[in-house]
Every structure is written in structure tokens, then in C-alpha cells.
Structure 1
Amino acid sequence: MGHRRHADDRASDVRPHGAVAPEPASAAATTQAYPPISGSWASVPPAPPNHPATPLSAPEPSRRRGPGWGALVGATVAAALLAGTGGGIVGGYLADRGSGSSGAPVAAPSPGAGATTRPQGSIANIAASALPSVVTLRVEGADGAATGSGWVYDDAGHVVTNNHVVAGADPGEDITVVLSDGRQVKGKVVGRDASYDLAVVKVSGASLAALPVGRSADVVVGDQVIAVGAPLGLDSTVTSGIVSALDRPVTPGQQDDQSYINAIQTDAAINPGNSGGPLLDMRGQVIGVNSAIARVPGSSISGQSGNIGVGFAIPSDQVATTVQQLIADGKAEHPVIGVYLDSAYQGEGVRIADGGPNSSPAVNPGGPADKAGLKAGDVIVAFEGKPVSDDGELVVKIRARKVGDSVKLTVRRDGKERDVTMVLQGSE
């Protein structure tokens, strides 16, 4: 019997840009048209001027479907090797991790007295408006200190960041939030979700202006974008670029900390420390949360990894849904179809395993797949009419939807294909 994989698991080959995170494990490579990009979380502590920050290691690429354990298809797939690149691209989270720093707060550099007089819609004008709503997060934990970025979501003081930025914080401890004017205030995590790599921190003691949230569904390839954050601990850094691609399946992290992101790809420079910062459109609206970067395969796993023009952001439509759940309940709901996948399968499509862990069935009784008539050994070859060639890719596509959405899968059994529809079920 092939190895099983739970669809709520995540793979990793992309480095996050945020805070303290665990060392990643190697991720399975994929051979899809847009295979998931996987990698390790790269948390780096604030670096002194003219000195590189200490990077986290990224996982070595592995086989397309290395042995794994079964999983209910309710998670999105991890980032993996990109097909057609002659070796693929490996990356990881963009967190700044290290020993941390001490000293009096220092105000971020001014955008310039004339910034707000620049033409509306210019990068300078947008940056001047957005910078007061972008913060730097400093997290203390058992693994050391780390810095990441965040942005103000609402007038109640909720700040959005990546889960991997705050995951290493000591339970119950405050997080230091550095405002654009250099003031330091305290914040507490009110909710976080590893699967979507999102977290919400409630800030007290400061009145903050929220950034407007745009619709990532309206974004097209070629749109100009602006990334704001604290790369390598350098607060209030602004870079720009374009949307390079959409719907990239990216799965940084590992095991319990793996994320599944149907990402916006951008060439705007993002580096360790940018994690959690906003990706803005030319109207100054948040269209994504910067979360991971790619690294060239074969590069030193222990060496510094930085911008190579391939960064990934969580789409704002997903962010809005998840953040609202985190604020209300402290946790998020994940859409699933209720099956375990055979991660050792090497053929076309994605095969449902012969059984789940501990002798459980591969198809969850009463779940969406069961109601649609799917069985162990069936091969899922397409999702909403688009081919899927890796279990990770399928999970990412599912996670990009909402609980209650109706989806169509093309399934092969005994050499015959048929389309089935099902309503996605919720799972924590």
C-alpha cells in the first residue's frame, strides 16, 4: 500500500520573511505545470548596519512524491520544485531571526518632505500614505529573538502578520510592536493559523490608521505592486515591482507549521524580515501579505538567502476571510473534501490512498468525497477543469476555496473518467 498524506499537511521549499520559525524539513518536488514551491521559513534577527542577518536553513529538494503519510484533502499543497526550470526553484519563509537587539527605539527614516506632494498613484505618494500603517514586530521565544512585519487591519488595533512571525513567541508573552515613528507598544496574539500562515496581533496603547484591503481577484499579471516591511530589520523599507504570476501553489514550512498558499508571485524585492508586510496595488490597497521567497536550487542551505526576484504573497481575498475568523474565534476553518492521498503514487493525477492512518478509511464516511461516490484508489486528474499532477497542488487549490463552495473534480476509475461535484466541508 502506498504511503498516505493528509490533505491538511503542507510541504515546503519557500522561505518566509518574518519571525522565529522552526528548521524546515525537505519537501517533495512536483512535476505540475505550476508545481507548488516549497521551502523553509527564514527568520532572521535584526542585523547591525552593513552586516548580514543570520538566516535559517532551507530544505533540500526531494522526490516528486516522497514517502509520506495519509491526509484528508482539505489543505492546500506545499510549494515545490517548478517544472520546466531544469532543477526547480526552492525557497522559504521571510522572517528575520537571530539574537535580537536592544536599545532605544529609533524612528524609521522619513519618506521625504515632498512625498505627499507627488502625483496621486505614484510610488512615493502611496508609500507616504501606507508607511504609518506598517509596523515591525519583535518576538522573543525559546529559540531566540526575531523580527517580522505587519500592517494595521482595522481601527480596533488589529495587526495582520504571518503565523511564522509569531509562532515562536513564548505563550502569553507580549510582542513588541514598533510603529513607524519609532514608538514601541505591546501586542498580544489573538489568533493564528499555520495552514494559511496568517496571524492577528491586537495592539494596545496606540491609535493606528488601517490600510484599505483590495480584491486580489481583480489582480492581473503585469500589475505594478509595492512591498512594505522590515527586511533584515530595516524598518519602513519600500520596494516595487510587478505581479509576475498568479495562483502559484506554494507550501513553505513543515509538518504542523506547513502552509498552503495559492500565491501571488512578484518580483518586488522582499527579503527575510518582510514576512507579514503588505503587498500594495497602485491605489494603496493591500492585495497580498508577503510570506515567502524562492531560492535557487543547489544554493547553500545554511547560507544567506535573499531576493532573487521571486517572492510570494498570500492573496488578500484569502487574508480577509481568514483574518475575520481569527479575530472572531481565534482560529480559522479549512475547506476539505475528506480523503487521504497516496503521496508515493508516481502516475498521472493524484491518487486516493488505499487506507488512512490507524486502519481508518481513505475516504471519510459522510464527507464530501464519500457523498460524491469517490473510493480508495480513484485518481483525481483535474480540479475545476484544470489538470492536477501533485497532491500538494490539489490541496492548495482546495484551500483557496471557502467552506460551502461547490467544486468539480474529474476522477479516473478503471480507465474511465467522470466529473463529480461536491460541497467543501469545514475542518479546523
Structure 2
Amino acid sequence: MRAPEAFAADDLQYRQAMAEAVRATANHVLPSVVVVEVVGGTGGAEGEVEQDAPTSGVIVDKDGYVLASSIVVRRPSATILVVLPDGSRHAAEVVSKDEHRDLVLLKIKTDTELSPIAMPDKIEGRTGQTTVAVGRYGIDASPLVSRGVLSGKERLDGIAIQADARVTASFYGGLLVDLYGNALGILIPAVAEGGAEADTDWYDSGIAFAIPLDVVKKNLDRMRDGQDIKKGLIGIVSKSKDPYENQTELAAIRVRSPAETAGLKAGDKVRAVDAQKVQRHQDVRLLLGKFDAGDTISIEVDRDGKRLSFDVTLTDSIPPLQPQRLGVIAVNQAGTETQADESKDDDPAKQVLVREVISGTAADGKLEPGDIIEKIGVAKVDDVESLRRQMMAAEPGKAIELAVRRADENKTISLTPDSIDSGVMTAIPKAWSEADAKWSINELKLPDAANVAAVLAPKADESLKQLGLMVLLMNPGEAAPKEWLESWREVAETTGVVVCAVAAEDTQRWHPKEIDVIGRFVASIQKTSAIEPLAVAVAAPGAISGTKAEAADSMALAVAMSASRTFYGVAVSAKTRPPAVRLRENDAEASLQVLLPIAPQEDPPSWAPTLRKSGYPVIQAGEVDKETLLRWVRLLQAV
């Protein structure tokens, strides 16, 4: 048996060898790594310029082209400077951007002999292998080095590799290399979907993303020619709520999208993308995520028992969503025996039952409780989720035909859906408020979270069905959420909406890390109360008319944008200061509504048009009191 001293000696020898290997690897690529400094043209008093913290870049050829991360062009600047390894500083111009992968190509003029990085035709990175992140920092271009392992491939919808090296913002634009000195990719500022308020919030967290160099090489000539590269969009909407379910059927096709132009239809089952077989929508998403606008790909589908193939040319923009609604509360129920016999799937057949019709909506007077919605146009409807997604992607102002079964009689009903942003619905069916459950206010705690919270909800053994849930963020410095909820008791019981009040950890401000905490409060409540998953919203006190906008309003917007698959509504003051969160396009698979307490004829806040262009319905609801707010939350589940 070996003595402990022998193990210690081996460990020391290993650590020394690893340190030498990391140092050699970094020294091998450092001649190709530069510092990129950004000097802004605004910000200081009396026109004083301000300088952002420097990041890194990579020399990609001897003609002075340098690739950096998109962080250097996030805002207008007076000057971008590149500091070469010899310490010389050179003004750089922006040649082009790869907006799909958060990269920017710069050009400098210099007589200095440059050392471009070797760019392979194919990256051979293996999950689990040692990686080294390399950057530079400061006026003397000091090296930055961090070690980790390659922990994932095809991340960020298929465009990036992931390592667990700890990188700060100064590493962005630098290199991720293997232990043999082979460059793997260029580090970018990014987080996984819903992971943080902004895509730089994971710096120094042990999670780093890099764009593979073989992909960079493929696009480099286009970028040298000044062509910007954008993500390729197709315009399909998955039917499945779970992207990992063994199912690839399409619930809807976006209006005026490449998918519509090519001839894809709702109900098609995708079998292959670019000649690669797929079984889940996540497979489809990862394969499509690699392609750029302008690329043409093949899509194979099954339609009515036939295998069809379509060539689809991807685009960089699709008309934004303008989500529509019928105005019904619908539920899934088991299909008839005949339907079950006809089903080719192992799962029991389902059908969509209209449980309630909301007065004053498009469905009022057209549909009735008890109706079975079987089709929209030619697209089959067999669950509420697919119905909702079809309505999210429907064309505004266009009449649709519903195939409906009513008391064993088949009917075709034509109606024109309402746009969600046309007004707030508050007409909760009477049956929802007739339950006699007892509600109570209780403190709510989470492990490893310092936030104080309380929840107003029915007792667990008296839970109602289809309850709504509103998370109400308190302004920093406000405490005692249990006392705060007393004023909400009566209206919560009347509308059937559970209310959770959450106080900020810090008395001065909300922090981005608390976004995750708020989502965990929702998950905790959903375990004990029968919450309808779609009737979940986050709000701030500013959502009530006559209340001023404060820090909680900005935080509520940040939470909703970052946790789009948890929250389906956000209500804030119209004077809310928008948070520094990267805005993603609203998704038919997780559509978010925004409620503002201002009249339809009033001018919306300056950020509202940006949200609308990204497909978010912004509802100008007029006077909003507590009851109006909670009725809106409860009716987020309406289709």
C-alpha cells in the first residue's frame, strides 16, 4: 500500500505538469490575441467621454482583420482601439457583424507583422477534454488565462460550445483552446435561454460559451466583404409543449414566413432537417439553429401518410406575432371511442372542450360551453396547447373557420378572433367565484434564498381548480409581505388568484440573481395549489393606477423577459424604466402579455413600440385596480 506522501508527491507533480501545459498552450496562441478598447461619445458631464472596460479580440489574417465579441458594439462609440501584443494601439473600424453568433469583424491599419490564428476546417473538440480560455487586459495587454473542461457542444440552439472555465467580460472575444494549443472557438457574452437578466450576467460563474472556429472560418469571406450575418428564421410553431417529447408535429405556420412560402402546413410532422433525421422538436431546433439567413435547407415531413420534401430559404425577419384569441376557456378531455380507434399514436386520443365562453369576445354568441373544437381550417385541433399556439400565430383581422361538434351535430363556425392587445378581459365566469374555500396568508421560505415572502392562497385541502397566480414584487426597503397581503385578501378570493408578495433581498435594489429566486417561488406554490400553468403573472405596485413607477417595476419586466416559460403576463407602470435585459422575440410557444394602466388613446412609453415589434401584445387597460389586475391574471389562460 502506498504511503500518503507518495500520493501527495504525485498530486504535486500532476499540478506542476498541468500548470506548465496551460502556460505553454496560452503562450502558443497569445501572439494572435489582442485587447479591444471602446471609448464612448456620451455619458460624462459636459460632454466628457467615457471608456468602457476593455475586452479581447483575435487576429484572423495578416491584413489587419480582428474578430471580437459583439459587446464592443452594444452602444454607439467614438472610437474602437485595438492594442496589439507589442503594446501599440490602432484605431479600428467595424467591417461587419455576425448578429447570429455575437461576433464583430474589425479592421486596423498597421505595418506591424501580425500573427493570425490558425483556423481549422473542422473542430475536433471532445466533451470532457481540458480547455484553456485566453484573453488580454489593460494598457500593457497583459495575458488572461483560465482553465476548465469542454462541458457541452451544440449549445445556444446549436451555435456554441460550452466550457466551465471562469471568464470575466475581459475574456470575451478571446480564444478557447485545447491543451495542445489548437484553437477551438471565440468566447462570446451569452447565457442559456432564461438564465439571467442580461447575457453578461454569467461572467466569472464557471460557464463560458464559444463560437467554433470552423464556423467562423466558413463565414469569414462574407464578413470581409462587409456582409452582416443574421440568424436564419423559418416560421414554424411546435405542437408539443415539451421540446424533448418524441413528437415533431407543427401546430401552426407563421404568417408570411419562409415555411408558409415553401408550402409547409399546420399538422405536418417533421422527419428530417437538412437530410438529418429528427425525433423531437429539440432536434429540429438545434439543426435549424446553425443556419443563417439566406441559407436554403431541405425539410422532410409526413402529411396525411405521404412523405414530402420542401426546400426552404431562411430569412432574417418574419412579421412579428400579433397574438389573437377566441375568448374561451378550453380544456383537454379524453376523445371518443371512435377517435381513439382512429388514432395511430400510443397515447389516448384527446379533444378540446369549450368549458366557458367569455362575454364580449369573438366567441360570444358563436361558441357554446360543451362545444368540441375539432379543426381550425384544415388543421386538426386535439389539445388546448396546440389551439393556443395556432391563435398566437394567427393573422390579425382574418376570419377563421372552426369545425365544431355540438351535441353530436357537426357545425362550421366562422369568426374573426380578437387581438390580445385590443383590450383587457375581466368577465370571469360566475362559476369561478362561487367556491367556498378558506384562504390564508402564510410565510414562504426557500432554501439558500434571503428573500422574505408570503403567499395568500386557499388551504391545501380546499384548493380550487384553475387558480391564477400573481407574484407581486415589493419595492426595495419595503418589508412585512404578510401584512402587505391583507389588503389583497378579498379580491384574491373573489377572482380565484393566488397572490405571492416577495421582498427584495437588498433594501436598496433588486439584483439580477433574484430572477431565479422568483421563479423558484412560483414552482414552490405550484406544488401546493392547483395553478393553471398559463395563468401566471409577475407584477409591481406600479401596475395599479395612481401608483408611481419604482425599482420593482423594472425588476418585474426583467423577470418576465428572462423567465418566459414561467410567466405569461407582466403588469407594470407605464413609466417603468426598462431593465438592461436582452430582448428576445416573443414566442408562440411561450407568449407573454404586457399590461399597462393607461388608456388606449394615451401615448405608450417609449419602449412599448419596441416590444410590439418583437411580438409582445401591450395592453393599454385604462384604469387598473386590484380586481381588474387579478381578473386579467386569471384570464391569461383564455384562448
Match of 1:209 in 2: 115
Match of 1:99 in 2: none
Q: Deviations over 1:264-294 (max 9, x none)?
A: 1112222222211111233423221111454
For the residue of structure 2 that corresponds to 1:150, the secondary structure is strand
Q: Cα RMSD (Å) of the superposition? A: 3.9
Alpha carbons of 1:179 and 1:361: their partners in 2 closer, same or farther (altered >3 Å)?
A: closer
Alpha carbons of 1:298 and 1:279: their partners in 2 closer, same or farther (altered >3 Å)?
A: closer
Determine if the alignment matches structure 1 residue 375 to structure 2 residue 265: yes
CA displacement at 1:160 relative to structure 2: 0.7
Contact 2:160 2:209 (C-alpha < 8 Å) held by counterparts: yes
Equivalent-residue separation in structure 2 for 1:425 and 1:294 (angstroms): 25
Equivalent position to 1:398, from 269, 278, 288: 288
Alpha carbons of 1:296 and 1:285: their partners in 2 closer, same or farther (altered >3 Å)?
A: same
Equivalent position to 2:135, from 196, 215, 229: 229
For the residue of structure 1 that corresponds to 2:39, the secondary structure is strand
Equivalent position to 1:165, from 45, 53, 72: 72
Determine if the alignment matches structure 1 residue 363 to structure 2 residue 255: no
Q: Deviations over 1:18-49 (max 9, x none)?
A: xxxxxxxxxxxxxxxxxxxxxxxxxxxxxxxx
Supply the AA of the counterpart residue of 1:386. V
Contact 1:231 1:237 (C-alpha < 8 Å) held by counterparts: yes
For the residue of structure 1 that corresponds to 2:31, the secondary structure is helix
CA displacement at 1:212 relative to structure 2: 0.9
CA displacement at 1:301 relative to structure 2: 7.7
Match of 1:134 in 2: 33
Determine if the alignment matches structure 1 residue 387 to structure 2 residue 279: yes
- Pairing 1:29-108 to 2, within 5 Å after superposition: none
CA displacement at 1:262 relative to structure 2: 1.9
Q: Deviations over 1:42-72 (max 9, x none)?
A: xxxxxxxxxxxxxxxxxxxxxxxxxxxxxxx
Equivalent position to 2:163, from 250, 266, 275: 266
CA displacement at 1:421 relative to structure 2: 5.7
Q: Deviations over 1:311-359 (max 9, x none)?
A: 21111111112222111233237656xx423378636436363441xxx
Equivalent-residue separation in structure 1 for 2:197 and 2:314 (angstroms): 41
Match of 2:588 in 1: none
Alpha carbons of 1:325 and 1:302: their partners in 2 closer, same or farther (altered >3 Å)?
A: closer
Equivalent position to 2:88, from 180, 183, 203: 183
Alpha carbons of 1:297 and 1:131: their partners in 2 closer, same or farther (altered >3 Å)?
A: same
Matched residue count: 284
Alpha carbons of 1:180 and 1:232: their partners in 2 closer, same or farther (altered >3 Å)?
A: closer
Contact 2:250 2:265 (C-alpha < 8 Å) held by counterparts: no
Match of 1:150 in 2: 57
For the residue of structure 1 that corresponds to 2:159, the secondary structure is strand
Supply the AA of the counterpart residue of 1:346. K
Match of 1:275 in 2: 172
Between Structure 1 and Structure 2, the one with more helix by share is 2
Q: Deviations over 1:146-176 (max 9, x none)?
A: 4321111000111111223323243xx4301
Equivalent position to 2:252, from 342, 345, 353: 353
CA displacement at 1:227 relative to structure 2: 1.0
Contact 2:270 2:299 (C-alpha < 8 Å) held by counterparts: yes
Structure 1 regions of 5+ residues with no counterpart?
Answer: 1-117, 251-260
Match of 2:214 in 1: 317
Match of 1:220 in 2: 126
Contact 1:340 1:352 (C-alpha < 8 Å) held by counterparts: no
Equivalent position to 2:98, from 193, 197, 201: 193
Contact 1:275 1:292 (C-alpha < 8 Å) held by counterparts: yes
Determine if the alignment matches structure 1 residue 420 to structure 2 residue 297: no
- Greater relative contact order: 1 or 2 (C-alpha under 8 angstroms, separation 6 or more)? 1
Supply the AA of the counterpart residue of 2:281. S
Alpha carbons of 1:396 and 1:285: their partners in 2 closer, same or farther (altered >3 Å)?
A: same
Q: Deviations over 1:195-231 (max 9, x none)?
A: 2212111122343211111344422223332211147
Equivalent-residue separation in structure 1 for 2:228 and 2:191 (angstroms): 28
Equivalent-residue separation in structure 2 for 1:156 and 1:271 (angstroms): 29
